[in-house]
Amino acid sequence: MKLIIQIPCFNEAETLPVVLAALPRQIPGFDQVEWLVIDDGSNDDTADVAKAHGVDHVVRHGHNQGLARTFMTGLDACLRQGADVIVNTDADNQYDANDIPALTRPIVSGEADIVVGARPIQTIEHFSPVKKLLQKLGSRVVQLASGTDIPDAPSGFRAMSASAASRLMVFSGYTYTLETIIQAGQKNMAITSVPVRVNEDLRPSRLVKSIPSYIKRSIATIIRIFVIYRPFRFFGLIGAFLFGLGFLVGLRFLFFYLSGNGDGHVQSLILAGVLLGMGFQTILIAFVADLLAANRQLLEELRTEQKAQRLLPLQKTTVTKRAKEAS
């Protein structure tokens, strides 16, 4: 079996050598362990540093495309190189590479398709209280949307089988962490988590430029997750709230009308009509959004089949090459 450890990078020439120095070349259950760096349009020497430190594969973006797209580029590159299992880690040396065997063990044994490394969030000193709270909130939202029990959904330290990697598709341009877990849950993949350790902070997070920005992006990501993956629940709850509120306002007007004081509460009747109309229309949108979500799932299945057909010749070539090397 071949394991490829991928590292998304953007201007990581200083920290990348530290990360690579800690990566293993031998892991139980694998015949080959290779490294792959995705250079996301860096304007420093990230690609050259990667090659100089023994990275097997370097993929480059012509310009910066963001972490989510860089992650997907890495998965596609790993699959083309014949990876049976893919491990994703960060270029800032946040995660302890000694825990990679623990990440891959459930996949090698056939117990899981995806394994997420759960960090000890509450004991990480350089995480602010607000960031810890948002990490917990984000994980809880993902649990509700995906039906999984992953305690650290924002963790980027994860392993996945080639089959699972080929079925993932990230729509967000900000981060892949939450969305991929929700997809795994919806597609009935076996997903679990293992506790992992973290290293000292080498540099500030690129995703968290400021607390207000992080809060804004996190809230937008959470809302988008529900709109995309739970559209009927999202719009249905809003519609039910508006319809229920309009119904209560209407009952209030009816009470005053039957009491002989309806003339002074015409505004309540108008408000009730507006709220009932908005609620009804939002509920209709919930049904339409649910149909669109079903169509999206069908398109994702077609994409997965097309990708499998495209990768099949490459996988056969890789298997033949391994057989020749073994003989």
Same domain, yes or no, for 258 and 132?
no
Judgement on whether residues 215 and 287 belong to the same structural domain of the protein: no
- Same domain for 205 and 301? no
Q: Contact, 30 vs 104, CB < 8 A? A: yes
pTM comes to: 0.78
Same domain, 207 and 262: no
195 in the same domain as 317:
no
Shared domain for 181 and 168, answered yes or no, is yes
Same domain as 98, residue 162: yes
Structure confidence at residue 32 (pLDDT): 93
CA 201, distance to chain mean position in Å, is 22
Q: What is the pLDDT of residue 205?
A: 64
CATH of the domain at 42: 3.90.550.10
Ordered DSSP codes for 171-193: --SS-SHHHHHHHHHHTT--EEE
CA distance to 16, 22, 23, 218, per residue, from 52 (Å): 11, 15, 15, 37
State residue 201's pLDDT score. 75
241 and 144 fall within a common domain: no
Same domain, 156 and 269: no
Final residue belonging to a domain, choices 227, 257, 272: 227
Give the CA distances from residue 178 to residues 36, 145, 312, in Å, rounded to whole numbers and listed in that order.
Answer: 23, 10, 29
Which of 171, 204, 227 is at the close of a domain? Answer: 227
User: Which pLDDT score, from 0 to 100, does residue 126 have?
Assistant: 67
Of the three residues 193, 211, 227, the one that is the final residue of a domain is 227
Integer Rg of the chain from CA: 24
Q: Hey, CA dihedral for 231, 297, 188, 224, is it positive or negative? A: negative
pLDDT 10s digits, 306-320: 766 766 665 555 555
Is the domain of 77 the same as that of 160?
yes
Tokens (6 digits) for 100: 């990679």
- Its domain, for residue 263, covers 230-327
**Tokens matching residue 327:** 């003989």
The predicted pLDDT at position 324 comes to 59
For residues 178 and 247, state if they share a domain: no
Whether 198 and 256 map to the same domain: the answer is no
End-to-end CA distance of the chain: give it in Å, rounded: 16
The low-confidence residues of the chain, meaning pLDDT below 50, are none
Q: What gap in Å lies between CA 318 and CA 313, rounded to an integer?
A: 9
- Rounded distance, CA 168 to CA 183, Å? 7
168: Cβ–Cβ under 8 A, 6 or more apart, which residues? 72, 75, 160, 180, 183, 184
The domain total for the chain is 2
